[in-house]
Chains A and B, each alone.
Chain A
Amino acid sequence: MENLKTLAILIPILPLLGMLLVGAVGLRFLKDKSHWLVITGVGGSLVLACLILGDVVSRVSRDEAASHVANAESAVGSAALSKSIPIYDWFVVEADPAHGAMQSAGWLQMTFRVDQLTCVMLMTVLAVSFMVVLYSKGYMRDHHGHAERGYERFFAFLGLFVFSMCMLVLAGNFLVLYLGWELVGLSSYLLIGHYYQKPEAALAARKAFIVNRIGDFGFALGIWLIYLTFRTLDHQTVFDLVAGVFNYDAGHNHQAFESLVHTTLGAQASVMDFKVLVESRITWIALLLFCGAMGKSAQFPLHVWLPDAMEGPTPVSALIHAATMVTAGVYLVARCSVIFASSEIAMWFVAAIGAATAFFAATIAMTQFDMKRILAYSTLSQLGYMFMGLGVGAFDSSVFHLYTHAFFKACLFLGAGSVMHAMGGVIDIRRFSGLRKQMPVTHLTFLIASLALAGFPLLSAFWSKDEIIHAAFQSNVPMFGWIGLVTALLTAFYTFRMVAMAFWGPLRLPQGVEHAHEGGIWMNGPLVFLSIGAVLAGYVGVHFVSGGGFLGVFQPDGVFHEFLAPVIASAKGILAGHGAEHAGAAHAGGHGLMYASSGIAILGILSASYLYLKRPTIPWAIAAASGSLYRLVYNKYYVDEIYDAVFVQPLRRMGRLCFAIDRNFINAILYVLGNIPRAIGFGVRSGQQGAMQGYALGMVIGLVALIWIVLNGIG
C-alpha cells in the first residue's frame, strides 16, 4: 500500500514539477532548452507507471498463486487495489448530523486509486505523452532549429496537461476526478489557443471550453446527485453500494451490503428505502455522468469542438485530442461501469450515441481535405466505437480499443504534423501529393498506422475493433453491429483516400516549398516507436491457440482482458443479472466476423487507392452527382450552423439585453446609491470641504441608526 501510495503521488507530481520549473527558470534562463525539464518529468512518470504496473501485476499473480494453495492470509495483495488510497484530508464538510455517522466528521479527502484500469490508462497516457513531448522538441522549431515563439509556454502547458490527466485517471473519488477533469479541460483550452494571435485558434479554444462546460455541467450535476444519494463520493463505496442494490434480489451477501449502507448513511438508514432511492435515480446519475463524457470525448451532439481544436499545434492534437484527453469519457464510463450496467436505458443511450457518432463522423471524414480534420473526424468515429462497445457491455474491449487507438492515432497525427512541418504549414491534401519519396520515414510509419486504423488484419485495431463489433452483434440490438461494419468500411476508405492523395501519386509540393524533408531524429523516433506500437500493441489482447485455420490461431481475450477482469467483474455480474445476451466472455466463435471485417478493411483500402490513384476523376464525379447530399456531408451536416441559429444567436441577443440592463438600469441605481453621502454633503455648495462634512455626518447618522435599530431590538 505504501509503495503504491508513494508511486501514485509521484506520478502526477513529476510533470507538475516540470511545468513549475519551466515557469520558474525556463522562461528566463533555459529558454529553448526548457523541454528537458518536461521530458524528464514525463519520462520519470513513465518509469514510475511501469513500476506501478509491475507492482499491480505482482499483487494479482501473488494472489492467484495464493488462491491455489488456499492461503487466505497472503491473498490480500490485490485487495488493496479496490480501495482508495488517502493522500491527505482536503477539507472538512460538517454536514448535518441527521445524515450518516460518516459525514459528521467527514473530511473530503484527496484519494487516489490504483487498480488495473488505472494502470492501463497510466501506461497509455504516459507512453504517448512521452513520445509526443519528444516529438514536440523537434516540431516546435523552424527548419533552422530555432524555437518558435512560446516554446517554453508550450512545454509548461504540456506538463500541466500530463499532470492533470494523471490526476484524472488516478482519482479515487468523484471530486478528485472532477478536479482532474476540469484541469485537463483547462490545459486543453490553453494548448488549443497556443497560437492565440491567430483568431481561429483563439475562437477554437473558446469553443472547446464552452462546449465542454455544457457537458461538465451535466457531469457536476451527476456528481451532486451521487452525493445526495450515497452521501459519499468515494468511488469504491459508491460502486459497492450500487452493486449491492442491484444484486440484492439475486440474494447473496445481504449482510455485507446492509452494514455498508449503515456505515455510509447512518445506522438508522433503511436499507429498503435506500434501495428504492437508488433504483429510481441510477438512470439519471448514469445519464448525467455520460453528459460529461459526451463533452470531453466529443460525442454527438457535443462533438463540434474537436475538429476546430485542430487549430492547436499538431503534437497537442495528437496527444490531447486523439490519444488521451478525449478518451477520458471512455475511461469515465469504464470506471463507473457498475453504475452504467445498472441502467439499461443508459447503456442503450451510450451505445446509440456511440454508434451514431461513429457512422456520421466517418461519413464527414470522407469529404474533408484537411489532413488534421480528417483525422479529427476519424477520432470522433473511433471514440464512437468505444462508446458503442461500452454501451453493449464490452467494457474491456472498449478500453482495449482505447489503448490501441492511442498508439496508431497519435502516430497518424504526428505523421500529419511531420507533413505539415515539411509543407510549411500547408495541410490541405489537394495541394500536395507523392511525398513518399521525399519523406520515407513519415510515409512508412503513416502507412502502418493507417493500415492499423483501417483494421487491416493482424494490426492492433483489427483486434480491438473486431471485439467491439462482435459484442455489438451479440447484444440486444444487432443493428449496432451492422453500423460498426459499415463504419469500418468507411474508415478504411477515408484513411486510404488520405494516404493516396498525400503520399502516393506524382510528387507535387505547395508553392514556396522546394523540398520536403523529414523532421530529424526527434520527430522520427516517436513516429517509429508509435508505429511499432500500432503493429504490436494489439497482441496483449489476443491469445493464441493451435489449429483453427488461418486466423483461428488467434483467440480474443488475451492477458489484457484477464488483467482488467476484476475491475469490471461486478458490472458484468449485474449485466448477467439482467439476463442480457452480451454478458460474459462471449467472444469465442467470432471467426466468421474476423474474416468478414478483414475483407471489408481490404476492400475499403483497395477501392480508395484505386479511385484516388488511378481514376481521380470518379470521386469528383460522384461528389458532383450527389449534389446536395455531398454538400450536406461536406458541411458536417450543418451542425455548427444549426447551433449558431438555435443557441448562439439567441444567447447573444440575451447577452446584449443584459448588457443594456446593466448599463442603463443597474448603473443608475448604483450611481444614486453611491452618491447618497455626497448628496448629503454637497447641498448648495460643491467642494471637497462640504463632501467631507457630509461623510462625517453620514458616519454619525449611520452609527446612531445602528444603535437605534439594536436598541429597538431591546425595546
Chain B
Amino acid sequence: MPQSMLASMWMPSAEELSQLAPLFALVATIVALLLAAMFTNRNRNVAASIVTLGAIGTGLLAWKRLQSGAPSWAGFDPNGMGPMLISDTFSQFFIVLACVFMLVVTAMWWLGQKSDLPDSEVHRMDATEFFVLFVGSAFGMSLMVSTTNLLMIILAVEMASLPSYGITAFRKKNRVAAEASMKYVLFGAITSAIMIYGASLLYGYYQTLDLATIGMKIAADMQAGATTGTLFLSVAVFAFMVGIAFKVSAVPFHFWCPDVFQGASIEVTTWLSVASKAAGLGLMLRVLSVIICAPSAFPVEAFKYVSLAIAIMAALTCTVGNLAAYRQMNLKRLLAYSSIAHAGYMLMAVAILWSPTDAGIGAAHPAFSAIVSYIIVYLLMNAGAFFVVAMVYWSTGSESITAMNGLIRRSPMLAVCMAIILFSLVGMPPLGGFMAKFYLLMAVWKGGLYWLVVIAVLNTLISLYYYARIVRAMILTDDGLPEISAPMSGQLIVAMCTIGIILTGVLLGPMKEIANNNASNLYAVVKSDVAPRTASAAGPSAATPNTENADTAPTIP
C-alpha cells in the first residue's frame, strides 16, 4: 500500500458524497445554527427558522431520493471491508419521517414559547443550544437507520443518545428534569456497555465490523455444520440488541422512560417518544435484515433463542407498560407508559422476524411492513396526543389528568381529536391504530407465536381502561375549568394528525402498499448489494456462493 503519499489516499468521490446529502444537510443545520447564533446575538426565532428550514431541506432531499427510485447505495468502503453508510429507500423513508417529526416538534417549540411557563422561558433563552442538541439527536437517529457497520451503529446510537440526555436536562433549575436526565445517562451508559460488549464479541469472533459479512459467515458456519457457536452467537447478538432495546425502552431497559418523559419538557418528550423508538426499531429491522437475509435458507438455531428472548421481552414490555399506565395521573407519564406498551407490540413483530422457522421466514415480509405501518400510525397518534397535552399544559400549567376535565366544553375541537387519537391508540376500528395493530398481530399469528397474540389482545383490553379514563375526564367530568386558549396552528396540527389517523384506517389499502414497497425495497437492498459484496469479502470460509440463498430467501409478493 502506498501510504506515504497524501495524493494516493482514498477519497470519497463526489457521487458518493451526493448520496449522503440528507445527512450532510442535518450537519449543515447544526453548523448554521452555531454561526447564526454568533451573528444574530442568539436570536431564538432565527434558530427556530434554521431548524425548520433544515428539516424541510433534509426531508426534501431524502424525499427526492425516495421518489427517484434510485437503487440503493452502500458506500465509504475503501478497503472492501464493508460499507460504512447505506443510503436506500428504507433509510430515506425513516429520514423523511424524522424530518416530519422534527417539524412537528419545532412547531410545538414555537407555540410553546408564547406561554409564560418556566420551561418555555428556558427554551426561549437558550434556543440555540436546545436546537443544536435537538438536531444532533436527529442526526444520530438518521445515522442509526443508515448503516450496517457495528462501529457506526454504536456511534450512531451514542450520537442519538448523548444530545437526548442534554435536552432532557435542559430545564436546569428543574429538579425532576435533572434527576430524569441523570437516570437517562446512567442507564444509557449501562446499556451502551452491554451493547458494545456484544459488538466486541461479534467482532472478535468474526473479525469484521460489517454485519452483512457476519451474516455470511454465520451462514457459512451453518453450512459447514458448526454448532458450537450457537450459544455464543445468541448471547452476543442479544447483548448487541440490548443497546437498541434501550432506545425503544423495552422492559427491563425501560426504567428511564417514565422519569425522562415526565421530567423533560413536553417538546423533548414528544420527540423522544416517537423518534427514539422509530429509529431504534428501524435499526433493529436493519440489523436483522442484514444478518438474517444471508443464512435464511439455513435455520440458524441461535436466532431462535434471540427470537425467544425478544418475544419474552416484547410480552413483558407491553404488559408492564400497560399495567403501569393503569394508575398514572400524570399525562406525560401515562403516555410514556403507553409508548412503552406500543414498543412492546412492535417488538412482537421483531421477534417474528428473528424466528428462523419456516413460518418465521414466511412472515418476515408481512411483519416488516406491519412494523413500518405501525410506526407511521404511531407517529401520528403520539404527535397528536402530545400536542393536545401540550396545549392543555400551556393553558393550565398542569400535566395532570384532571387538567383534561371538561375539555369537551373548554375546547370541543381538541377533545374530539384527542378522543379519536386515544381510541386509535387502543386500536378501535376503523382508525389507523386498529389497522396497524391488526396487521401486526396477524403477522405474529402467522409467524406461529400464538401466545404473543393472546398477550397482545389481553393488553389491549387493559389499555382500553386507562385511555378511556382520559376520555371520561374530557367528556363526563366537568369541574368548571376555564376554556382552553389553544393556538390555531396547534389545533390545525392536531386536526391533521387526527385526519391522518382516520385516513390510515379508512384508506388502508394505499397505505399498506407504501409499507409493502418499503419492506420489499429493504429486501431488495440486501439482495442486490450485500450479497455479492460480502461473498467476496467474507474470505475463504464463505467462499461457497451464498447469493443463491439470498435470492431465494426473501420472497416479495
Contacts and interface: CB of A to CB of B under 8 A. Distances in A.
Contact of A699 (B187, B235, B305, B512): B187
A703 interface: yes
Contacts of A349: none
Contacts of A179: 430
A92 B510 CA distance: 11
5 contacts: A24-B495, A90-B509, A703-B242, A707-B238, A713-B308
B162 interface: no
Given A91-B435, A688-B179, A695 B324 contact: no
Contact of A710 (B187, B305, B413): B305
A464 B442 CA distance: 51
B234 A710 contact: yes
Interface string B400-430: 0000000000001100000000000000001
Contacts of B326: 666, 670
B37 interface: no
A696 B323 contact: no
Nearest to B438: A91
Given A696-B186, A702-B252, A674 B309 contact: no
Given A90-B509, A677-B255, A695-B255, A700 B183 contact: no
A286 to B, nearest CB: 25
A27 interface: yes
A126 B309 CA distance: 58
Contacts of A28: 488
Nearest to A666: B326
B435 A706 contact: no
Nearest to B194: A703
Interface of A: 23-24, 27-28, 88-92, 94, 107, 153, 179, 666-667, 670-671, 673-674, 677, 688, 692, 695-696, 698-703, 706-707, 709-711, 713-714
A673 B320 CA distance: 9
A28 B488 CA distance: 9
Contacts of A667: 327
Sorting the interface of chain B by its residue count into under 10, 10 to 19, 20 to 34 or 35 or more gives: 35 or more
Given A696-B187, A710-B305, 6 more contacts: A23-B495, A670-B327, A696-B186, A706-B238, A710-B308, A714-B234
Contact of A91 (B230, B231, B255, B512): B512
Interface in B305-322: 305-306, 308-309, 312-313
Task: Decide if the interface of chain B is mainly helix, strand, loop or mixed.
Answer: helix
B255 to A, nearest CB: 4
A179 B428 CA distance: 13
A703 B241 CA distance: 11
Contact of A90 (B183, B242, B508): B508
B131 interface: no
Interface string B258-274: 00000000000000000
A698 B510 contact: no
B508 A703 contact: no
Nearest to A694: B255
B100 to A, nearest CB: 21
Contacts of A94: 366, 442, 446
Nearest to B511: A91
B94 interface: no
Contacts of B430: 179
A509 B430 CA distance: 50
A695 B312 contact: no
Contacts of B309: 706-707, 709-710
Contacts of A673: 323-324
A410 to B, nearest CB: 28
Contacts of A696: 186-187, 190, 255
Interface string B308-348: 11001100000000011011000000000000000000000
B251 interface: yes
Given A153-B412, A696-B190, A711 B231 contact: yes
A674 B235 contact: no
A439 to B, nearest CB: 35
A90 B191 CA distance: 42
Interface in B494-534: 495, 506-510, 512
A666 B430 CA distance: 31
Interface in B441-487: 442, 446
A673 B187 CA distance: 21
B160 to A, nearest CB: 19
Nearest to A711: B231
Contact of A714 (B231, B242, B442): B231
Contacts of B308: 709-710, 713
A698 B179 CA distance: 18
B183 A706 contact: no
Given A153-B412, A703-B252, A714-B231, A89 B509 contact: yes
B252 A699 contact: yes
A671 B324 CA distance: 9
Contacts of B442: 94
Nearest to A701: B252
B252 A692 contact: no
A88 B503 CA distance: 13
Contacts of B183: 692, 695
Contacts of A674: 323-324, 327
A670 B323 contact: yes
